[in-house]
Amino acid sequence: MASVSVIIPTKNNADTIRIAIESCLSDCAVGEVIVVVQPSQDATRDVALGITDPRLSVVEDEGHGISRAMNIGMTASSCAYLAKVDGDDIVPKGRFDSQCRFLNTHPEIMAVCGAFAAIDNVGQHLSSFATDRAEGDVTEQYLAQERPTHLGSWLCRREAWEEVGGFREWFVIGEDVDMAFRLAILGRVWFIPDVSYLYRISEGSITRTHAKTLRDFYDAQSSLFARQRIVSGTDDLEQHQPPPVPVLDTEAHEIGGAELHEQQTVGFLEARAWREFHDGRRRTAFHTIIRSSSYAKGWRKLRQVRSLLVMIAKTAIARK
């Protein structure tokens, strides 16, 4: 039975929105996909409208942020389970069907989530996350402001989203972390270590087009608000007393866009290479670190060369 509503907020994703939508529609458990298109400078809207499927709805938003877009999609949705998928990401085949079966047979669980992987602009795998975590209840981790996985890997009961009031529109970014922390107060979150979400590292995503100062600010506030709710049952935002959003110094250098994209891509691959190296898969690690250098520029490329040389030196020493 199709019982999942997938909400896809999207902006300037003409190159990726089709695969994002189709990856959701390919799942038999999906009853509807609601694409909320914010004002874009490319053909995102036209690409979405060009997909013919009775389960697909395309809604236009005036552009008041990703949280507003998510709430518009939630209002337009009707299925028992809800999921958020960004317009440049991909859902692995059969993921929603599997998660639906789990929730159908575990009524005591509010939401189920999984591991996730990062991919590059063309869909090539960069690194996997949380795949080594054991299956089990991760509610306490979220209540402690930890982040076992990505909200994109969640499938949640509708009544939970409705009870927390949807996404909070004060959050320009970091809305997914705030949502996860708030949901965890309502019920149990269960983790299954299957890769359930493919997170694309692209220059145009909302996370990478905002200044680091803002990213850090909203990230810190989501944790602060969570601690406040645990102590007093409410937080400053619920009391209409949020802190002022920092004013950016237009002359200060802020990492974002292409630079942040390079930093994250190279960083994911380098970390993966060292995990492979320490696991004894040295040849694989060499290939991964060489691949990471193809994304790097300037000093990051020199750093990757240094890492490769260190790996080679350690391998030579171990063989003596």
Domain ranges of the chain: 4-209, 257-319
Longest CA–CA separation in the chain, Å: 66
Strand segments, DSSP code E, in the chain are 4-10, 30-37, 56-60, 81-84, 109-119, 125-129, 136-137, 155-157, 188-200
If 0-12 CB within 10 Å is exposed, 13-18 middle and 19+ buried, where does residue 303 land?
Answer: middle
Q: Where is pLDDT greater, at 14 or 301?
A: 14
Mean per-residue pLDDT for 207-228?
85
Q: How far is CA 57 from CA 3, 46, 77, 183, in A?
A: 16, 13, 10, 26
pLDDT tens by residue, 187-204: 999 999 999 999 998 765
Instruction: Give yes or no for a contact between 169 and 68, defined as CB atoms under 8 angstroms apart.
Output: yes
pLDDT (average), residues 199-219 = 75
The continuous run of DSSP H or E covering 19 comes out as helix 17-25
Q: Are 59 and 36 in contact (CB under 8 A)?
A: yes
Interaxial angle between packed helices 282-295 and 257-278, expressed in degrees from 0 to 180 and rounded to the nearest 10: 170
pLDDT at position 54: 96
pLDDT at 254 over 60: no
**Model confidence at 73: pLDDT above 90:** yes
Q: Is 100's pLDDT higher than 60?
A: yes
- How far is residue 145's CA from residue 227's CA, in Å, rounded to a whole number? 8
pTM of the predicted structure, to 2 decimals: 0.86
Query: How far apart are alpha carbons 118 and 86 in whole angstroms?
Result: 13
Cα–Cα distance for residue pair 165/75, rounded to 1 Å: 11
User: What distance in Å separates the CA atoms of residue 270 and residue 307, rounded to the nearest whole number?
Assistant: 8
User: What CATH topology corresponds to 4-209?
Assistant: Spore Coat Polysaccharide Biosynthesis Protein SpsA; Chain A (3.90.550)
